[in-house]
């Protein structure tokens, strides 16, 4: 042993892989690393995997999925984490078919009980709480600015928003699609507040609150409202987001949002992954139903949404 250490011997993990069939490599597929929510996700996931002695092979989905799948399979990854919100489910299916454990992050399978494991926050409940907060604080013309229509995150958030409105016997005042992109979101907002003639619309024709499908867009929307349209946030328009990205807490924004419990989510991802790895070696044939973990986030009240009164009535 001493000699081996002195000679600088390191076991070759690829050789080990050949005989054990385990690579200890997890493939992680991201769609947009430019979304402010994912850097921290990636950092935490990497740290946790490292701590477990596993490695993270990073892929960015850029449309050419075929190639990506090929790589994933050829490297015999032990498991795959799919965090690409808008990613077509073809990829997930192909991986599962190849017998590789898949965990969907912040995304749920669009086909019913497809057998995929998934981890997400209770999106609908979060959006419901945000919307109810706005209703409770006297907002009456509430708009929803959607992410991508086909993203499960957006669908749940939209549904939660609509549900809260229905409970409050209110209708949605305006609806637009931002596709989870800052520039598109800003375009939608301009359309809401500025008429075709380039003049500002009357206040009563404009939303007094905007439920934005994620923080990324919400921050961009705040910029446009304040610096381009000259509106006060939250005095004239309230904005709420979803995720609680680091930037949401910055003094310039102080965004009211719904916090996704990222560390817990990561733990769940790891649990699902390792559970599958064990089950796989135990009895490879028994295919368990996909387990959908839904975690509870938290309403994070900051300053971007107007509150009825700072001095609360004494009980």
Partner DNA sequence: CTGAAAGCGCTTACAG
Binding residues (CB under 8 A) for a copy of itself: these are: 8, 10-15, 17-18, 23, 25, 33-34, 38-40, 42-43, 46-47, 50, 55-60, 62, 67-68, 70-71, 73-76, 98, 219-220, 222-224, 226-228, 246-247, 250-253
Q: How far is the CB of 18 from DNA (least distance, A)?
A: 3
Q: Which of a copy of itself, DNA, none is residue 5 near (CB under 5 to 8 Å by kind)?
A: none
Which DSSP string corresponds to 72-105?
A: HHHTT-SEEEE--TT--HHHHHHHHHTT--EEEE
Looking at residue 200, what DSSP letter applies?
B
Q: Check residue 15 for interaction with DNA (CB under 7 A).
A: yes
Q: Which is nearer to DNA, 18 or 203 (CB)?
A: 18
Tell me the two tokens of residue 102: 């898949």
Tell me the two tokens of residue 214: 């994620």
Q: Which is nearer to a copy of itself, 104 or 245 (CB)?
A: 245
Q: Which is nearer to a copy of itself, 8 or 202 (CB)?
A: 8
Please give the torsion angle defined by the CA atoms of residues 163, 242, 132 and 206, in that order, rounded to the nearest 10 degrees. Answer: -90
Which secondary-structure segment (H or E) carries 136?
helix 123-136
Q: Check residue 75 for interaction with DNA (CB under 7 A).
A: no
- Give 85: exposed, middle or buried? Use CB within 10 Å, 0-12, 13-18, 19+: buried
Q: Which is nearer to DNA, 74 or 112 (CB)?
A: 74
**Beta strand 209-212 with 55-60: parallel, antiparallel or unpaired?**
unpaired
Q: Which is nearer to DNA, 15 or 251 (CB)?
A: 15
Q: Which of DNA, a copy of itself, none is residue 73 near (CB under 5 to 8 Å by kind)?
A: a copy of itself
Q: Check residue 18 for interaction with DNA (CB under 7 A).
A: yes
Q: Which of a copy of itself, DNA, none is residue 9 near (CB under 5 to 8 Å by kind)?
A: DNA
Q: Which of DNA, a copy of itself, none is residue 183 near (CB under 5 to 8 Å by kind)?
A: none
174, 143 in Cβ contact below 8 A?
Answer: yes
Q: Which is nearer to DNA, 20 or 67 (CB)?
A: 20
Conformational region of residue 33, where left means phi above 0, alpha means psi within -120 to 50, and beta covers everything else: alpha
Q: Which of DNA, a copy of itself, none is residue 253 near (CB under 5 to 8 Å by kind)?
A: a copy of itself
Q: Which is nearer to DNA, 12 or 112 (CB)?
A: 12
217, 284 in Cβ contact below 8 A?
Answer: no
CA distance 296 to 119: 11
Q: How far is the CB of 284 from a copy of itself (least distance, A)?
A: 16
Q: Check residue 8 for interaction with DNA (CB under 7 A).
A: no
Q: Which of DNA, a copy of itself, none is residue 155 near (CB under 5 to 8 Å by kind)?
A: none
Q: Which of a copy of itself, DNA, none is residue 20 near (CB under 5 to 8 Å by kind)?
A: DNA
Q: How far is the CB of 163 from a copy of itself (least distance, A)?
A: 32
Which secondary-structure segment (H or E) carries 3?
helix 2-6
Tokens 């009895």: give the residue.
283
Q: Which is nearer to a copy of itself, 24 or 200 (CB)?
A: 24
Q: Which residues of 45-64 are buried (b: 16+ CB within 10 A; e: fewer)?
A: bbebbeeeebbbeebebeee
Q: How far is the CB of 281 from DNA (least distance, A)?
A: 10
> What is the separation, in whole angstroms, between the first and last Cα of the chain?
73
């Amino acid at each position: 042993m001493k000699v081996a250490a002195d000679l600088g011997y390191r076991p070759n993990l690829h050789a080990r892989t050949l005989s054990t069939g385990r690579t200890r490599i997890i493939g992680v597929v991201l769609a947009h690393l430019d979304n402010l929510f994912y850097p921290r996700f990636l950092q935490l996931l990497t740290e946790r995997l490292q701590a477990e002695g596993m490695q993270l092979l990073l892929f960015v989905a850029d449309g050419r999925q075929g190639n990506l799948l090929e790589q994933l399979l050829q490297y015999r990854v032990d498991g795959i984490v799919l965090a690409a919100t808008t990613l077509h489910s073809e990829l997930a299916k192909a991986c599962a078919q190849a017998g590789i454990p898949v965990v969907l992050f912040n995304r749920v399978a669009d086909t019913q009980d497809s057998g995929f494991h998934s981890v997400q926050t209770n999106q609908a409940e979060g959006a419901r709480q945000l919307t109810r907060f706005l209703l409770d604080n006297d907002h009456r013309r509430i708009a929803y600015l959607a992410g991508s229509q086909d993203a499960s995150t957006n669908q749940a958030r939209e549904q939660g928003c609509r549900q809260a409105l229905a409970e409050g016997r209110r209708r949605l005042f305006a609806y637009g699609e931002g596709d989870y992109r800052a520039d598109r979101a800003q375009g939608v907002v301009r359309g809401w507040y500025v008429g075709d003639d380039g003049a500002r619309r009357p206040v009563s024709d404009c939303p007094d609150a905007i439920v934005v499908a994620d923080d990324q867009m919400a921050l961009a929307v705040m910029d446009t409202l304040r610096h381009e349209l000259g509106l006060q946030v939250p005095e004239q328009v309230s904005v709420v987001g979803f995720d609680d990205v680091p930037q949401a807490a910055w003094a310039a924004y102080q965004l009211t949002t719904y916090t996704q419990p990222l560390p817990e989510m990561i733990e769940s991802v790891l649990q699902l992954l390792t559970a599958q790895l064990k089950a796989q070696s135990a009895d490879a044939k028994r295919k368990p139903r996909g387990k959908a973990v839904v975690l509870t986030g938290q309403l994070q009240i900051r300053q971007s949404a107007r509150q009825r009164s700072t001095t609360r009535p004494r009980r």
